[in-house]
Amino acid sequence: MKKNPLLGRDVISMRDFGPAEIRAILDRCRGFENNRKPLLQGKVLANLFFEPSTRTRLSFDSAMKRLGGATIGFSDSISTSISKGESLWDTIRVAEGYCDVMVIRHPAEGSARLAAEATRLPVINGGDGSNQHPTQTLLDLYTLKQRTGRIEGLKVAFVGDLKYGRTVHSLIRSLSHFDARLWLVSPTSLCLPEDFLEDLRDSGTEHHIVDELAAVPDDVDVLYLTRIQKERFVDAIEYERVRNAYQVNPENVARFGAKLTLMHPLPRLNEVHAALDQHPGAAWFDQAHNGVIVRQALLALCLGAA
């Protein structure tokens, strides 16, 4: 049996894992595709969601229960002791007595790291503000591997809002360790922040900053689409223009061929034409479903049960 890459560890940031460790984690995930062994029977997960996130919460909840474990927790901070002024440190130290592993979702950057320091139990970051969301990145990488057979040397175009959204940031950073070639397709106002561009330059990752889908070559492996949020625009007309300019539809996707993989972290508005659900490469629902598989693996590995 291979070494457990997460034994005695937390899952706080993708930066904590080297390329070999990421490969090892993804390898372990495959075993959970059809697993129904109650590996975590008798174990309790605390799902500590200080801000709402139905998708991530339900995905962890399902993962734990698929493995025979139980879940406790809350889905927002309104009804918690936090509203009585309790420190996060105290909340985590108290919760430690209630569970075997914790998932924390919190609006403050660094909160997951703080939680991991407060407790001897394994902590998994379910998203800390605009900072890290490592389980989303792992499920994206897992889906990439499932669809293309590899995570190395992929040609990936990121389309839409590259300025906000840790999902894109974290995946771009991870791909830079795996010899990716990147096309960054966005309006100037929503382009990738300078510090991420600097990282790409530092790591020598080939990347092309463009402002239209037409600039992406036909043989790209993956289009990674994002939600363009109205709130990011002061001007409603500008929002409409951008939204329409970056919508992906059967026509402008046809030239990439049937081997193209289409991804989106969801929820989506109308960045994606409904007809693309029928595209053989449409992977957004697979991404969501793989989220359960990846989180099963993470829970089992952190608890030393896999």
Q: What does the binding site for a second copy look like in residue numbers (CB under 8 A)?
A: 36, 38, 42, 44, 46, 52, 54-55, 58-59, 61-62, 65-66, 68, 70, 72-76, 78-81, 84-86, 90, 93-99, 266-269, 285, 288-292
Least separation in angstroms between CB 227 and a second copy: 8
Residue closer to a second copy by CB (options 19, 285) is: 285
Residue closer to a second copy by CB (options 177, 289) is: 289
Hey, what are 131's tokens? 């900072």
Least separation in angstroms between CB 28 and a second copy: 19
Least separation in angstroms between CB 24 and a second copy: 24
Q: How far is the CA of 295 from the CAs of 60, 125, 169, 281, 287, in angstroms?
A: 6, 11, 20, 23, 12
Hey, what are 157's tokens? 């175009």
- φ/ψ (deg, to 5) at 248: -100, 130
User: What is the C-alpha separation between 94 and 108, in angstroms, rounded?
Assistant: 20
Least separation in angstroms between CB 87 and a second copy: 8
Least Cα distance to 2 among 23, 28, 22, 26 occurs for 28
Residue closer to a second copy by CB (options 16, 96) is: 96
Sheet-wide strand order for 155-159: 207-210, 181-185, 155-159, 222-225, 261-263
Least separation in angstroms between CB 55 and a second copy: 6
Residue closer to a second copy by CB (options 127, 291) is: 291
Sorted by sequence, the CB contacts under 8 Å of residue 111 that are 6+ apart come out as: 50, 88, 104, 128, 129
Total Cβ atoms within 10 A of residue 95: 19
Least separation in angstroms between CB 252 and a second copy: 21
Residue closer to a second copy by CB (options 91, 125) is: 91
Total Cβ atoms within 10 A of residue 234: 8
